[in-house]
Amino acid sequence: MTPRGTLVDEVASLPPNTKVSGYVPLEPDEFVRRMTRRRGLRVLFKEAEGTDAEVLVTDGRERSFWKVVLACPGGSRFTVLTGEETTPGAFRAGRG
């Protein structure tokens, strides 16, 4: 579910979820636009406010909540919490 050019700098296991953080070469609004156009993803929640954005998506197997914050022109820091769609206790809320 990651856009091209994404750089991951930390992965943490938070059973039953996984937390990943890093850099994405997109500004928050563009990140949300691209995620909403991705084939195979359903957007469950989105909010873009210029310098930051949140989006909750599912591909039917995994649900991912992205928090994206502008870091520089053309790039943002992100944190994503991902869990299997059917796992009890997996991330479900629209806000993390």
**pLDDT tens figures, 29-80:** 999 999 999 999 999 999 999 999 999 999 999 999 999 999 999 999 999 9
Which H or E run includes 34?
A: helix 28-37
89 belongs to a structural domain = no
Question: Which stretches does DSSP call E strand in 1-96?
Answer: 7-14, 17-24, 42-48, 52-58, 62-72, 75-84
Per the domain annotation, does 88 fall within a domain? no
pTM: 0.86
Tell whether 2 is covered by a domain: no
CATH assignment at residue 15: 3.30.160
Residue 51 corresponds to which tokens in the numbers above?
């310098």
**Residue-number span of the structural domain to which 56 is assigned:** 7-83
Total residues belonging to the chain = 96
Q: How many domains does the chain have?
A: 1
Residue 20 maps to a domain: yes
